[in-house]
């Protein structure tokens, strides 16, 4: 494993996806237990994407975590998909994690509501009442975090949850990931936590495997911090950690990053 730091962002490069999943799950579960030693309950936001598969599978094996003291949230949802559709992010997280563990509460974003503004306000109230201690997330091929694509990302967004239009590259990623058969099947709009809502997490763990993410990873770490690559915001967070595998780190010059081989 290699470790290095870019601005405030800690980066760990693992040998493969499985190793990345194990390492990130161990560190996240350790942080959960540390926080639960200081407070009665903990609030965690989770991302839904194939990039999170290995992490979520490994997290389910962490038997020392008291899941009964965790309030769970997810960070984005398509508008207009049936809640039980396999592409629904709520369905994904229920299958991969939420349905496995006895969480105190599981709080889903409703992308089928008749009034999207009311739903944004409802979820904002929940996040205000239960501010995130930990955010577990990924990075999109266009550098997005949650569904904050470059055209709609705002580092100073006054909102915590909002309706967004998905850009073409973001929608194509859903096809590349095998979630949809064609671009026409991918919804055009979604509800998402904003960049400030994500950055409000006390601790952020970002899992990004795969060759399709290599360019986004390079931009996250080496471009100017700004909305042209929303994930670059991670470099300003005091307690963020980025996990990569061999493929997602493939175009980084690790020697120039003064990497430390462990």
Which pLDDT tens digits describe the chain residue by residue (262 residues)?
899 999 999 999 999 999 999 999 999 999 999 999 999 999 999 999 999 999 999 999 999 999 999 999 999 999 988 777 888 999 999 999 999 999 999 999 999 999 999 999 999 999 999 999 999 999 999 999 999 999 999 999 999 999 999 998 889 988 888 888 999 888 899 999 999 999 999 999 999 999 999 999 999 999 999 999 999 999 999 999 999 999 999 999 876 555 444 3
Distance between CA atoms of residues 230 and 104, nearest Å? 31
Domain range for residue 132? 2-261
Helix, strand or coil for residue 254? coil
Closest CA to 23 of 31, 12, 33, 32: 12
C-alpha 163: how far from its chain's center?
A: 18
Nearest residue to 177 via CA among 53, 21, 93, 32: 53
Could you tell me the pTM of the whole model? 0.94
| C-alpha closest to that of 185 among 174, 198, 177, 200 | 174
* First and final C-alpha spacing in the chain: 5
CATH number of the domain where residue 219 is located: 3.40.50.1360
Instruction: Specify the number of domains making up the chain.
Output: 1
């Amino acid at each position: 494993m290699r470790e290095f730091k870019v601005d405030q962002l800690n980066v760990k490069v693992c040998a493969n996806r499985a190793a990345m999943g194990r390492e990130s799950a161990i560190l996240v579960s350790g942080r959960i237990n540390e926080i639960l030693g200081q407070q009665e309950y903990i609030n965690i936001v989770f991302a839904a994407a194939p990039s999170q598969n290995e992490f979520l599978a490994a997290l389910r094996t962490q038997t020392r975590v008291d899941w009964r003291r965790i309030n769970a949230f997810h960070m984005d949802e398509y508008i207009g998909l049936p809640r039980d559709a396999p592409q629904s992010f709520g369905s994904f997280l229920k299958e991969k994690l939420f349905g496995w563990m006895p969480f105190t509460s599981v709080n889903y974003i409703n992308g089928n509501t008749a009034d999207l503004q009311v739903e944004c306000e409802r979820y904002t109230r929940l996040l205000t009442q239960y501010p995130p201690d930990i955010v577990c997330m990924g990075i999109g091929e266009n550098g997005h975090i949650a569904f904050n694509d470059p055209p709609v990302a705002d580092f100073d967004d006054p909102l915590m949850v909002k309706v967004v239009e998905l850009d073409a590259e973001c929608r194509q990623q859903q096809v590349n990931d095998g979630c949809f058969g064609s671009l026409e099947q991918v919804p055009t709009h979604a509800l998402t936590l904003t960049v400030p809502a994500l950055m409000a997490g006390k601790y952020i763990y970002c899992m990004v495997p795969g060759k399709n993410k290599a360019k986004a990873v390079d931009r996250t770490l080496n471009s100017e911090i700004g909305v042209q690559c929303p994930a670059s915001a991670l470099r300003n967070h005091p307690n963020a950690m980025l996990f990569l595998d061999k493929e997602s780190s493939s175009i980084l010059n690790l020697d120039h990053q003064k990497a430390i081989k462990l």
